[in-house]
Amino acid sequence: MSEPPPSAVRDRLGERLVRAIASAQTHADGTDSLMQEAGRATGARVVVLWILDERARALRWAGDWGADADAQAFRDACRRITFAPGVGIVGEALEADDPVWKEVAAIPRATPALAAGLRAVVAAPLGGPDGPLGVLECFTASAEEPAPAVLEDLRLVTSQLAGYLGRLRIEERLQASEERSSSIVGAALDCIVAMDHRGRVLDFNPAAEATFGYARDAVVGEVLADLIIPPELRDAHHRSLSRYLETGEPTILNRRLELTAMRADGSTFPVELTVTRLGTRRPPTFAGFIRDLTANREAEVEHERLLREAMLSRAVAEAAQERSEAAQGATEAAQRRLMLLARAGERLIAGGDYERTMQEVAELAVPAVADWCAITVHEGRGVRRRVGTAPSGAPEPEAPEADRITVPLRTPRRAIGELALAMTGSGRRLEADDRAMAESLAARCALAVENGRLFAERSHIADTLQRSLLPARLPEVPGLDAAARYRAAGEHNLVGGDFYDFFRSGDGVWTAILGDVTGKGPEAAALTALTRHTLRAGALRESSPMANLQLLNEALLAARAHDASAARFATVVYTRICRSNGRVVVTVSTGGHMPPVVLRADGAIEYVPISGTLLGALEDVVLDEEEIELAPGDLMLLYTDGVTEARPREPRFGEQLLEQVLRDHLGAPAARVVEALEHAVVAAQEGEPRDDIALIAVRAID
């Protein structure tokens, strides 16, 4: 039987190699089978497989095959060593890209190799498409160099082994990659759902299982839309998928979308969805990355609820502030009106010149309640006169009707004027309460105007009456310098109780009288008239001052007899002044009045030592007469208690003041003396005198 040709042998070897690979149950089985075939092809007793560790750049033992057990020690020695590329026969074979033959005596493992009966080694590289994978060593008991056919067979074996190992390596890498992907998908917190072009589920990770309530095995192969998309959104989903498949036009791919998803129990919840296409293969598959936004949405809703509450609280606070300010404005306006009425009331009650009062009232109203105020009074025959304007002198503004209030000043009998308020430029508005206030203010003004007018009328009457009871002026008396002064106290509309008179009562004889009757007003006027006329009449018939005072007492008593309702008393100092032969002799009598005081030319002050009974009280009065002489420069002063009682709580004040003024005016004309004394008394009382003041000064001159 002839030897088969080498090609046929090699074909059989190839078939064996393919079968060995195909029948291998494990990767190790396949490798072992191929190493065994290498041993058979080369007659090797031991075959060792070295695999290149690319990261370490080292060749490491990866397996071996032995024909018998004697080589075990050598095989164990091989396990413990590594080769760098280019080092040792293994490293050389890796770089040589072709089998390398050596006797084992030439390699570092010679000792264990020889001990195992091995004599030579051929090392063949395992070339892969991306570079060498390793080296296969075949140790033989023969020291002969292998024949070319043997090397060719070895190349065939190593080629198959390299292919096999390459596939194993790819499978390992794929498996590792899949394991990594699976781990990532499985551990992902987000839901990951894979879907094919028909919309059927390819994968459903644990997070999706937990979120949607489906088991993976139950949903793989099912239509995804029917599982997790609410019915009302499914049509849109189907349309979107169809459009993409038809046109390749992505509408939702790789975009982050917020949608509503559906759980297995039919409940819906918000999700964020990102869909991406997996790879480029056709038909396409898709992965959906779904994040449950329920917690986010709840937080967002809660955040907005708090925001809403904050906005509402702010609005409520603003409204409350507006209402508060409106209420405060109304309160302040009411307070301003009340304050105006109170202040105007005080001013109106104070009385005095009503025109000045009206001006003050108008000024009180502006700007408190209005921008402009005017008070006008009617003066009869259609004449109207403005008595108050604020701002002072401001013309009547052209304000619209809504910004103007005019109310009458009305007395019980008639309208006597108008009060007008207007808003001009302040932006304020006149309100109903302002009208009520204006009416109240006008009523008070009307009363004040009416009272002012009555007061003026009565003052005029009283003044006229008062002047009728006093001499219009003192007569010129040769050798005498005489002057008088009169000042009524209190209301100007009442006739005072003090009086004086100075008249010629005979040839070279003059009478000066000064007194004080009880009461004020009409009663005092009547009593003064009685007193004055009685004494005037008496002085013409009777020269004795004392007798004339006696006559007056009787007249007063007689008058009281006619009208017992009122007491009629009077105090009077009566002086009869005779000038003859250059001398001035004065006869003095007093009925209850202070005696005259004399300022001598040398400055000495003397009170005439005379006294007498009040007149009109008793039938029997005690009266007296005293005669004094006035030398040139001497001055006699008659005065009422308005002087001496300037300060009632200081009994001596009035007399001291009187004496001081006299001393200060030594040698002064009579008119200056009485004027100075009146001023001093008024000033001493810090205001209006409480009592009438009547003064007569008679100064003897050369």
Partner 1 sequence: MPDPDRHRRIAVNESRFREINDRLADGLGSLRHPPEHLDFVCECAHLECRAKVSLTAAEYERVRADPMLFAIVDGHEVPDTEDVVARADRFTTVRKHRDVEDIVTATDPRAT
Tokens of 162: 């390299």
CB within 8 A of 683, min separation 6: which ones?
Answer: none
Asked if residue 439 binds partner 1 (CB under 8 A), the reply is no
Give the shortest CB-53-to-partner 1 separation in angstroms: 58
Asked if residue 55 binds partner 1 (CB under 8 A), the reply is no
Q: CB count, 10 Å around CB of 258?
A: 12
Residue type present at position 433: D
Where does this chain touch partner 1 (CB under 8 A) — which range of 76-84, 240-248, 308-316, 617-625?
Answer: 308-316
Among residues 73, 106, 312, 537, the one that binds partner 1 under rule CB under 8 A: 312
Residues of 364-375 as b/e, b for ≥16 C-beta within 10 angstroms? bbbebbbbbbbb
CB within 8 A of 571, min separation 6: which ones?
Answer: 515, 516, 590, 591, 592, 593, 614, 615
C-beta closer to partner 1: residue 349 or 436: 436
DSSP per position, 506-571: ETTEEEEEEEEESSSHHHHHHHHHHHHHHHHHHHHH---HHHHHHHHHHHHHHHHHH-TTS---EE
Cα–Cα distance for residue pair 471/473, rounded to 1 Å: 5
Tokens of 507: 């040839």
Among residues 70, 103, 272, 431, the one that binds partner 1 under rule CB under 8 A: 431
Nearest to 365 by CA among 350, 343, 346: 343
C-beta closer to partner 1: residue 176 or 301: 301
Among residues 300, 379, 457, 650, the one that binds partner 1 under rule CB under 8 A: 300
Give the shortest CB-253-to-partner 1 separation in angstroms: 25
Beta-ladder partners of 204: 193
Among residues 327, 338, 350, 683, the one that binds partner 1 under rule CB under 8 A: 327
Give the shortest CB-372-to-partner 1 separation in angstroms: 18
Site for partner 1, residues 374 to 413, rule: CB under 8 A: 402
Asked if residue 304 binds partner 1 (CB under 8 A), the reply is yes
Nearest to 479 by CA among 502, 509, 506: 509
Among residues 297, 386, 492, 647, the one that binds partner 1 under rule CB under 8 A: 297
Among residues 315, 342, 567, 604, the one that binds partner 1 under rule CB under 8 A: 315
Q: Is 212 helix (H, G, I), strand (E, B) or coil?
A: helix
Give the shortest CB-298-to-partner 1 separation in angstroms: 10
Q: Please, what sign has the CA dihedral across residues 171, 175, 181, 185?
A: positive
CB within 8 A of 256, min separation 6: which ones?
Answer: 272, 273, 274
Q: Do residues 540 and 505 lie in contact, with contact meaning Cβ atoms separated by under 8 Å?
A: yes
CB within 8 A of 500, min separation 6: which ones?
Answer: 470, 471, 484, 486, 512, 513, 514, 515, 638, 694, 695, 696
User: Angle at CA 220, nearest 5°, toward 218 and 222?
Assistant: 90
Among residues 311, 338, 339, 604, the one that binds partner 1 under rule CB under 8 A: 311
Cα–Cα distance for residue pair 369/421, rounded to 1 Å: 8
C-beta closer to partner 1: residue 337 or 576: 337
Where does this chain touch partner 1 (CB under 8 A) — which range of 151-159, 429-437, 438-446, 574-582?
Answer: 429-437
Residue type present at position 297: R
C-beta closer to partner 1: residue 305 or 460: 305
C-beta closer to partner 1: residue 144 or 318: 318
Cα–Cα distance for residue pair 60/40, rounded to 1 Å: 23
Q: How far is CA 119 from CA 90, 91, 106, 122, 526, in A?
A: 16, 19, 10, 11, 180
Give the shortest CB-238-to-partner 1 separation in angstroms: 28
C-beta closer to partner 1: residue 15 or 322: 322
Asked if residue 215 binds partner 1 (CB under 8 A), the reply is no
C-beta closer to partner 1: residue 434 or 501: 434
Backbone angles phi, psi at 432, to 5 degrees: -60, -40
Task: Show the binding pattern over residues 583-622: x = contacts partner 1 (CB under 8 A), - = does not.
Answer: ----------------------------------------
Asked if residue 307 binds partner 1 (CB under 8 A), the reply is yes
Give the shortest CB-175-to-partner 1 separation in angstroms: 47
Give the shortest CB-438-to-partner 1 separation in angstroms: 13
Distance from chain centroid for Cα 688: 55
Give the shortest CB-440-to-partner 1 separation in angstroms: 17
Site size with partner 1, rule: CB under 8 A: 27
Asked if residue 257 binds partner 1 (CB under 8 A), the reply is no
C-beta closer to partner 1: residue 181 or 328: 328
Where does this chain touch partner 1 (CB under 8 A) — which range of 178-186, 311-319, 339-347, 593-601?
Answer: 311-319
C-beta closer to partner 1: residue 149 or 320: 320
DSSP per position, 330-362: HHHHHHHHHHHHHHHHHHHHH-S-HHHHHHHHH
Residue type present at position 606: E
Asked if residue 320 binds partner 1 (CB under 8 A), the reply is yes
Tokens of 612: 């007498």
Give the shortest CB-228-to-partner 1 separation in angstroms: 23
Where does this chain touch partner 1 (CB under 8 A) — which range of 301-309, 345-353, 381-389, 491-499?
Answer: 301-309
C-beta closer to partner 1: residue 403 or 626: 403
C-beta closer to partner 1: residue 281 or 429: 429
C-beta closer to partner 1: residue 337 or 485: 337
Among residues 176, 301, 338, 604, the one that binds partner 1 under rule CB under 8 A: 301
Q: Which residues bind partner 1 (CB under 8 A)?
A: 297, 300-301, 304-305, 307-308, 311-312, 314-316, 318-320, 322-324, 326-327, 330, 402, 429-432, 434
